[in-house]
């Protein structure tokens, strides 16, 4: 973990910090504010869900404050739903519409994970309650401006997203980023001393997946890619790579607004019969797809971390991916797979051929991938987050959080982008 001095508590938080002695004698009340959660499936959902599990296992009270989905029935006991509306630019998403009546409960720590309505509500509540605000920067926001018509060109001229984000994250007591590749983004925003804590993956959910019907045709090389089918994920480059691997078949897990375009692109390349779009699959099955795959191919250059890379490697699947920002530290180049420059299809093809064409190299990379994928655990990440909480509260970690860890039911670690 990269450390730096956290912002000291403001005078308005003095009353909260004087409660430090009392906090050492009871569990913390923690609010995890996120504008995306189940049934959404993406890296933020994975991160927030695992963090809540681990914090609760250590005796703390946690609420995952998330938008309401009218058709969804929660099976988790930690979710606190806020009334929501359909988001016009992404119809499958819900935008929370919080009111004052929604927040009669109070938290010792407000930890925001997104910058939309619930993230902003968390900022306001932390200020109102005079408690520390911790923010995790999961998404490189400037890469997603195309979801708001006209914002991309306007942001290019004004750097509006960076400036507004800087005001939001710059006022937090601590900002967590998942990889060192995001530190330059923080500097551009004017955020000082961000803390690097990688998002964890729990391998138990992957390894427990039961056998599935093999979606790859017999006799083909088995390539897998996982993610939300959206422009910034660059599945068009994955298809371009496949077009130069004539003995390979690609399975894509995920759904999104670009699916029709991607199917048309595959048709234009003459490879549609060598691509299987499986859509969103139950999390209980996902590990089985990794288990069957020979190569994981990934071309997004906008990731803050790229959790699917870690998931693939945990299951022993060598990775060939674009190296940019968060993915630069997501693959051990030459040991668990290979990284290429953004947009370099020729390099993607070359490395894919190398991995699939040399069985000894594949075995070596597969073993390296398993080792590299184990570098972070949910429990270890939670301990690092608790240390950030303790420092923001002006407490020592050993004194504040010496609560016994209890067993928790393993949950899916693979909630991939939809």
pLDDT digits (tens, 9 = 90+) for 107-116: 999 999 999 8
Rg for the chain, CA atoms, rounded: 22
The secondary structure of residue 388, as a DSSP letter, is H
Question: What pLDDT score does 63 carry?
Answer: 98
Q: How many CB atoms lie within 10 A of CB 128?
A: 13
Q: What is the mean pLDDT of residues 106-132?
A: 96
Q: How many CB atoms lie within 10 A of CB 404?
A: 7
pLDDT digits (tens, 9 = 90+) for 158-189: 665 566 777 889 999 999 999 888 888 898 88
- Band (pLDDT 50/70/90 cuts) for residue 19 is low
Q: How many CB atoms lie within 10 A of CB 93?
A: 18
Question: What pLDDT score does 160 carry?
Answer: 55
* pLDDT beyond 80 at 239: yes
More confident residue, 302 or 295: 295
Place of tokens 């089985």: 288
Question: What pLDDT score does 408 carry?
Answer: 42
Please say whether the beta carbons of 131 and 108 come within 8 A.
yes
Alpha-carbon distance of 162 to 149, in angstroms, equals 17
Q: What is the mean pLDDT of residues 299-321?
A: 92
Q: Which of 104-108, 225-229, 240-244, 252-256 has the highest mean pLDDT?
A: 240-244
Q: What is the mean pLDDT of residues 384-388?
A: 96
| CATH number assigned to the domain with residue range 203-373, chosen from the 4 options 3.40.718.10, 3.40.190.10, 3.20.20.70, 3.40.50.2000 | 3.40.50.2000
Most distant CA pair in the chain, distance: 68
- Those residues whose C-beta lies under 8 Å from the C-beta of residue 393, and which sit 6 or more positions away, are 16, 17, 20, 23, 108, 109, 132, 400
Lowest mean pLDDT among 22-36, 37-51, 64-78, 355-369: 22-36
pLDDT digits (tens, 9 = 90+) for 252-274: 999 999 999 999 999 999 999 99
Chain mean pLDDT for the chain: 86
* pLDDT beyond 70 at 55: yes
Please say whether the beta carbons of 133 and 122 come within 8 A.
yes
Question: Same CATH topology for 11-200+376-400 and 203-373?
Answer: yes
- Band (pLDDT 50/70/90 cuts) for residue 397 is low
Question: What pLDDT score does 199 carry?
Answer: 87
Please say whether the beta carbons of 4 and 194 come within 8 A.
yes
Q: What is the mean pLDDT of residues 204-231?
A: 95
Entry field: residues in the chain: 418
* pLDDT beyond 70 at 406: no
CA–chain centroid gap for 47, Å, is: 6
CA angle 349, 354, 355 (to 5 degrees): 100
Question: What burial letters (b/e) apply to 324-335, b meaning 16+ CB within 10 Å?
Answer: bbbbbbbbbeee
The domains of the chain are located at 11-200+376-400, 203-373
Cα distances from 259 to residues 106, 265, 342, 382, in angstroms, run 42, 10, 21, 36
Cα distances from 123 to residues 186, 303, 386, in angstroms, run 18, 24, 19
* pLDDT beyond 90 at 339: yes
Token pair of 35, please? 């504008």
Question: What pLDDT score does 275 carry?
Answer: 98
Cα distances from 283 to residues 53, 206, 312, 384, in angstroms, run 17, 8, 14, 27
Q: Is the dihedral of CA 259, 264, 265, 270 positive or negative?
A: positive
Assign residue 314 a region (left: φ > 0; alpha: ψ between -120 and 50; beta: otherwise): alpha
* pLDDT beyond 80 at 236: yes
The class level of CATH for 11-200+376-400 reads alpha beta
- In 159-220, DSSP assigns E strands to 174-177, 195-196
* pLDDT beyond 60 at 151: no
The secondary structure of residue 100, as a DSSP letter, is G
pLDDT more than 70, % of the chain: 82
More confident residue, 417 or 393: 393
- Band (pLDDT 50/70/90 cuts) for residue 246 is very high
Neighbour-count burial of 353, counting CB atoms closer than 10 A to its CB (0-12 exposed, 13-18 middle, 19+ buried): middle
Question: What pLDDT score does 37 carry?
Answer: 95
């Amino acid at each position: 973990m990269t450390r730096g001095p956290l912002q000291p508590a403001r005078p308005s938080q003095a009353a909260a910090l004087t409660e430090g002695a009392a906090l050492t004698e009871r569990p913390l009340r923690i609010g995890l504010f996120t504008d995306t959660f189940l049934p959404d499936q993406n890296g933020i959902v994975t991160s927030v869900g695992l963090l809540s599990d681990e914090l609760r296992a250590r005796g703390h009270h946690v609420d995952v404050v998330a938008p309401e989905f009218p058709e969804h029935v929660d099976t988790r006991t930690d979710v606190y739903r806020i009334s929501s509306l359909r988001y016009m630019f992404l119809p499958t998403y819900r935008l929370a519409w919080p009111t004052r009546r929604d927040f009669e409960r109070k938290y010792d720590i407000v930890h925001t994970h997104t910058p939309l309505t619930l993230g902003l509500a968390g900022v306001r509540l932390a200020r109102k309650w005079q408690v520390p605000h911790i923010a995790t920067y999961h998404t490189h926001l400037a890469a997603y401006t195309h979801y708001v018509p006209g914002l991309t060109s306007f942001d290019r001229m004004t750097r509006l997203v960076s400036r507004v984000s800087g005001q939001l994250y710059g006022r937090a007591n601590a900002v967590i980023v998942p990889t060192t590749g995001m530190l330059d983004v923080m500097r551009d925003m004017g955020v000082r001393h961000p803390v690097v804590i990688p998002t964890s993956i729990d391998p138990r959910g992957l390894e427990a997946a039961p056998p599935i019907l093999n979606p790859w045709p017999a006799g083909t090389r088995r390539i897998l890619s996982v993610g939300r089918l959206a422009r910034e994920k660059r599945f068009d480059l994955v298809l371009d790579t496949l077009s130069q691997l004539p003995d390979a078949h690609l399975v894509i897990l995920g759904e999104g607004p670009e699916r029709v375009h991607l199917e048309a692109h595959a048709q234009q390349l003459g490879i549609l019969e060598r691509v299987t779009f499986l859509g969103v699959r139950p999390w209980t099955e996902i590990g089985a797809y990794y288990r069957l795959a020979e190569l994981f191919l990934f071309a997004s250059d906008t990731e803050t971390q790229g959790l699917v890379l870690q998931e693939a490697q945990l299951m022993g699947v060598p990775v060939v991916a674009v190296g940019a920002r968060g993915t630069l530290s997501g693959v051990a180049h030459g040991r668990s797979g290979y990284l290429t420059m953004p947009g370099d299809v020729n390099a993607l093809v070359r490395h894919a051929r190398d991995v699939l064409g040399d069985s000894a190299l594949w075995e070596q990379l597969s073993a390296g991938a398993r080792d590299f994928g184990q570098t972070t655990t949910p429990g270890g990440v939670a301990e690092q987050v608790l240390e950030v909480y303790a420092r923001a509260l002006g407490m020592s970690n050993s004194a504040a959080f010496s609560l016994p860890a209890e067993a928790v039911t393993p949950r899916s670690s693979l909630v991939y982008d939809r």
